[in-house]
Structure 1
């Protein structure tokens, strides 16, 4: 931890040192980008990078789109050069011919993004830039292709080896706690008292991944309840009048909320690593824990029920459990994967569908998206890798006997 603290302190000091800016360069952003790619000097390059990043954040949407379109066209690959260098490499494979092919196959905009990232504090600004690109470039093929370059670089920069797992508790800095409130995407945190109930009791935990270049910005966080038995109601977990249980009585770790924090890191997956790391750490910290489950929403359920002609508002709890089980096991996308996005995430991580609960989330959001039902995905630490491989290979939804029976019953009974 001392090495980590020193690293984060160094990053913070570098960020503070960027407060003095050079005089503004009046050239358009597109010209500045071209100049940065062609720059040979480190000092001039840093000045250009700071100018580009600072001015980009003040641009309106039209200005941002114009900048993105410049990167997508003027800094794209030249297909003729790629074909020619590949042909040369095929004829005479060598270090020289391969280097020429790599240079032709990599668009200049990747080098631009790398040079922008040399500036202290630039990584977070580039993440925000990609968030704008995802928002503004949807449906425009050239801009969607440009995003592949951002994603390619981010996959390396945000590799698991660079991420730092930190516990979040009631004693964490206020600015971090404010961001936990703001970024909570599953069960809204209504007040500081609500946050306190999730962080302060001895049977509650919260963990987040951070990146050394963004030490004040959580990338993803998970909220955990240490419980006796597998819970079937999120309102019970978050109840104001709840009494904490002794840690020695806890036999189950329940992951009840996982929130991605950065829109600019969409499709850069951290959840898999987060759950496995937290489960491993908790197993060491609390030896009595024998079961690791989620209590997850089923966000596509009501839409699917409507598409099947099922009036879920008139359906009793037991039938809803059956329909939910049927949906989780049998409703598939065209490619064969589960229709439900949360199911795809957890099954892809090596979990199984363990138990389905009716009246598990009675909030307006829970009723609207899941008809109030929720599901436990079970993470068997000894079988995660096996389950992951099985799902990746066959896309079969692995479920408990109870869930399979529910699904079969729902299929045999007319709606």
Structure 2
């Protein structure tokens, strides 16, 4: 940043402002950080707006203090209030460090001024601008500690009405759209399906531009490439993957050449460059093949090693089990990592739970047509399980009636 008086350069705007004041006697006008939505008085921040509304306009802002066990529970509750109130709470600034935790402020998305992020060549559509240039008192003050999440919820909105054009999609809705985009569903059909599943008051929240933004933010095109390489990795059998050292594997190809795969770090939290079947991200492994070493892609060798490490049910086995019980035991032993095995690993309930988890992983890899074909199969399995449950209840009732009618020694 250059001084317009002496052309001296400065790193930050704060230093430039101080230089203009001390060296040239020039005082820049102070920009208003917050204006009352009812009388245009500068109120500086959120705490001042509460006192000003109550004193000058007799408006009491309703508040509530809530507690959550985890940040996931808080995010789920936040989605519910955004859907019910037709509003959205966005983070105002970075996270503040407080005693034994961190604190963040989430303001109503109508509050504040609109920032111009473009080049200014084209005029902005004023109908799509949500921020009114004034402060809305509704906000969330979130404090995260080791004991849980404390939230102060200021409920009262002042100075704006809910505009359908300004509605935003929730995180869950964005993930649903991302799954549809990944399955190559046409954009117009996605909009129609999402609007059918939404309440009438929120159907205007899905717009064509949202689909383009989700495709960009969720790296849908990269995710399709990852799923294609996952399909290629299914040709790599278990015998072609050899563990050299912990977190190092040698993958041999059909022509005798081999590559080396390294596990470099833990999975990134919230990473979109993820194989949903293998449950690993592209940053978690590295490989000596050209696809990964040169192009930085998610190669089929990484998929094969990830399946061998975490979900071995996807790796082909040479030996066929003798009967159904042995088959269930074999699959269960391959699904369960070594560190998770317990002495009572042959317990039927224990094996069944891991089989269900494996089934969910397989279903998540199916396309739309595959899910339609799998639906009657899953329904039949559920019906068979319910039939077993009814038979069990009937046996228990018969047994209890028999015990009740049996004469005692005193009789």
TM bucket, shorter chain: under 0.3
Quick one: higher RCO (CA 8 Å, sep 6+), 1 or 2?
A: 1
Structure index of larger Rg: 2
